[in-house]
Amino acid sequence: MSDGSVYERALGAAFGRLQPQLQEYFSMQPGEGRYGHGTGVFDVAGCPRPALRPLLPVLPVSNAFFPDFGRGVPFTISNYAHLDPFGRSSLTAVRMFKFDRGERIFEDTTSLTSPTGLTDYVGRRRNLATDLDLSVSTDGRLHMHSPHTRLFLGRLRIPVPVLAGADAHAEQWWDEESGRYRIRTIVRQRQLGTVFVYDGSFTYEYRTFDGVLPPDAEPEKWERRL
């Protein structure tokens, strides 16, 4: 067992200001013997700009930003707390969206890459990396912001310029009225506005986990670079 989840260690004392349900959700750490599984519906999900959708499949990052868009999209999420191959405390998430044209996957691994710093590695090859800045609102919601992004292509580390890149903002909270978790994630590009979004609610349960990532959660490649 480590000294707290990656979110506890990154937030420090602020973790205690989260809604109690969020503290439970974000408290998983390696060695607990369980993983989290959620099921729900996104009110909206995908790329809302039709002109951009044909460009997304050619991006050198798979299982991330897909060219679909829909409303009332069923989805599942599985969260696994584990140590990555480099010994870093990590949380791997696999999200499955069920669109009319088929299923899409968005996967990532969030790793503790400094005593209180998180790096999120996105995609099947984990080759899109972004820093995660966390904060807690006065009503106990968790806010996540990804201000700096870089792309790894082979041995190349390519910073994504601020003007060309996009900022990702996520907000997660417990909805007392519905008794469900809610999450809202928006990726905005300065010139184009919102280029990717998902917003919805889900129920959540814990299942037995032996600490070994299942095949559908194991990435094609791990990345240790920052």
Residue 145: which residues within 8 A CB-CB, separation 6 or more? Answer: 132, 133, 134, 135, 167, 168, 169, 170
If we measure between CA atoms, which residue out of 15, 24, 4, 10 comes closest to residue 174? 24
Regions of the chain where pLDDT drops below 50 = 1, 163
| Residue 1: per-residue pLDDT | 47
CA distance 136 to 83: 26
pLDDT value of residue 58: 87
Whole-number Cα distances in Å, 206 to 9, 22, 139, 178, 209:
22, 14, 25, 19, 9
For residue 165, the model assigns a pLDDT of: 63
Residue 68: what pLDDT? 96
Measured CA distances, 5 to 2, 14, 23, 91, 111 (Å): 7, 13, 10, 9, 10
What is the spatial distance between Cα 119 and Cα 196, in angstroms, rounded to a whole number?
20
SS3 state at 179: coil
Q: 95: which strand partners?
A: 77, 106
Q: 43, 218 in Cβ contact below 8 A?
A: no
Place of tokens 């707390």: 81
pLDDT at position 166 is 74
Which residue's entry shows tokens 């010139």?
191
The answer to whether residues 225 and 128 touch, using CB atoms and an 8 Å cutoff, is no
Would you state the pLDDT for residue 59? 87
DSSP-based three-state secondary structure for 85: coil
